């Protein structure tokens, strides 16, 4: 695509005060998990023209995903999510370089997954994997944009120790996790877009509003609460000497 | 001393509110952590990810003061 068409594609967003398309174009973001959260954040990061999206998921699309995972359609069922997501995102914006990783996140794979990224977006569906991602983001000093949903409720946060606390400052492993999680589309959509917005701000050098804070979104009562997440002096990860 | 615990969503039923539809008045001794207070009223701390007091997150090792109003937040794990 020529330079002129590229300029036309982004012509409305470069009017936004403080916008820096070149910074966005040079950036790499990792999205781990291409479910409801990852679908929303990937679509909007691709649309905005991020330079490279590293997509990680090892699941196949199931029919029960289609109420919220807006990257996929009926014909996607049975296909790997990274492949279907890649197809959809390439169709949306061919200028974005896509890395499709059909990889299960664990303590062995996480190091390679985050390598070279400016920011990590959490699209995961369980707390154990989130703690692994949180730990690696702390080790590599890459900001971790947390997101999670359950029913009408969604959480989003931006963790970047030592400037902020980390996920392990907020909560401990061993919490109750129902299976399957009740979820419908707008809640992960809302939280995924908040994550994408915070990623875009970070990449462009604008202070993320969730830095050291947590957004608690309650879709049932339409409340958005921003609360402070202090560093935990007893955090087993980021306060360890 | 007395504190007030609040919860929404699925935690509300576990809290068994008695002040209004989301608040429970709890009598407790001073110096007891929120984790122990929850255990004392029959709420498994694994159902509470963190708590809120005013605009701040409080972990379950927080020791409440007289009259505190504390909102319990459930674990949220879906994506």
Backbone dihedral angles phi then psi of residue A17, each to the nearest 5 degrees: -55, 130
Place A99 in a pLDDT band, splitting at 50, 70 and 90.
very high
Q: Which member of A130, A170, A176 has the closest CB to residue B50?
A: A170
> For the ranges A110-119, A198-207, B12-21, which has the lowest average pLDDT?
B12-21
- Give the pLDDT confidence score for residue A241 in this predicted structure: 62
The dotted CATH code for B2-73 is 3.10.20.90
The dihedral region occupied by A33, where left means phi > 0, alpha psi between -120 and 50, and beta the remainder, is left
> With contact defined as beta carbons under 8 Å apart, do A103 and A110 qualify?
no
Round to whole Å and give the CA distance between A167 and B75. Answer: 12
Indicate the DSSP class of residue A199: H
Instruction: Kindly list the residues of chain B whose beta carbon comes within 8 Å of any beta carbon in chain A.
Output: 8-10, 44, 46-47, 49-50, 52, 55-57, 59-61, 73-79
- Give the pLDDT confidence score for residue A240 in this predicted structure: 75
Q: Give the helix/strand (H/E) hosting A121.
A: strand A119-122
3-state secondary structure A11-70: CCHHHCCCCCHHHHHCCEEEEECCCHHHHHHHHHHHHHCCCEEEEECCCECCHHHCCCCC
Size of interface A-B (CB pairs under 8 A): 89
Residues A132-175: pLDDT tens digits?
999 999 999 999 999 999 999 999 999 999 999 999 999 998 99
Whole-number percent of chain A with pLDDT over 90: 94
Q: Per CATH, which fold does A22-228 belong to?
A: Rossmann fold (3.40.50)
pLDDT(A97) > 70:
yes
Place A2 in a pLDDT band, splitting at 50, 70 and 90.
confident
Question: Stretch A50-74: mean pLDDT, rounded?
Answer: 98
Round to whole Å and give the CA distance between B15 and B24. Answer: 7
pLDDT(B8) > 80:
no
Residues B51-72: pLDDT tens digits?
999 989 999 999 999 999 999 9
Residues 6+ apart with CB under 8 A from A41: A31, A121, A123, A147, A192, A193, A195, A196, A199
> With contact defined as beta carbons under 8 Å apart, do A31 and A53 qualify?
yes
Residues B24-49: pLDDT tens digits?
999 999 999 999 999 999 999 999 99
Residues B9-25: pLDDT tens digits?
778 889 999 999 999 99
Domain ranges of chain A: 22-228
A148 touches chain B (CB under 8 A): yes
Closest chain B residue to A183, measured at CA: B78
Chain A, window 2-41: residues with a beta carbon less than 8 angstroms from a chain B beta carbon: 33, 35-38
Closest chain B residue to A187, measured at CA: B79
Complex ipTM: 0.91
Pairing relation of β-strands B2-7 and A52-56?
unpaired
Question: Stretch A2-27: mean pLDDT, rounded?
Answer: 95
């Amino acid at each position: 695509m020529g330079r002129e068409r590229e300029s036309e594609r982004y012509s409305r967003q470069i009017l936004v005060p403080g916008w820096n398309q070149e910074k966005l174009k040079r950036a790499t973001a990792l999205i781990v998990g291409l479910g409801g959260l990852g679908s929303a954040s990937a679509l909007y990061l691709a649309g905005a023209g991020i330079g490279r999206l590293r997509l990680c998921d090892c699941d196949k699309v199931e029919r029960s995903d289609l109420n919220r995972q807006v990257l996929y359609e009926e014909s996607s069922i049975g296909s790997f999510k990274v492949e279907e997501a890649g197809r959809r995102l390439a169709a949306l914006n061919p200028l974005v370089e896509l890395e499709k990783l059909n990889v299960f996140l664990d303590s062995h794979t996480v190091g390679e997954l985050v390598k070279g990224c400016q920011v990590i977006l959490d699209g995961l569906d369980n707390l154990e994997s989130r703690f692994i991602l949180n730990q690696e983001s702390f080790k590599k000093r890459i900001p971790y944009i947390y997101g999670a949903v359950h029913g009408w409720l969604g959480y989003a946060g931006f963790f970047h120790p030592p400037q902020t606390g980390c996920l392990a400052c907020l909560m401990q492993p061993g919490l109750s996790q129902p299976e399957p999680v009740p979820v419908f589309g707008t809640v992960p959509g809302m939280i995924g877009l908040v994550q994408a917005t915070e990623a875009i701000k970070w990449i462009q050098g604008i202070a993320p509003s969730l830095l050291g804070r947590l957004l608690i979104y309650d879709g049932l009562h339409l409340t958005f609460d921003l609360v402070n997440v202090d560093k935990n002096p007893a955090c087993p990860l980021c306060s360890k000497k | 001393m007395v504190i007030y615990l609040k919860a929404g969503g699925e935690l509300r039923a576990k809290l068994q509110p008695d002040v209004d539809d989301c608040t429970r008045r709890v009598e407790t001794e001073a110096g007891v952590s929120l984790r122990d207070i929850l255990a004392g009223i029959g709420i498994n701390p694994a159902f509470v990810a963190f708590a809120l007091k005013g605009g701040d997150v409080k972990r379950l090792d927080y020791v409440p003061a007289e009259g505190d109003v504390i909102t319990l937040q459930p674990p949220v794990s879906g994506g």
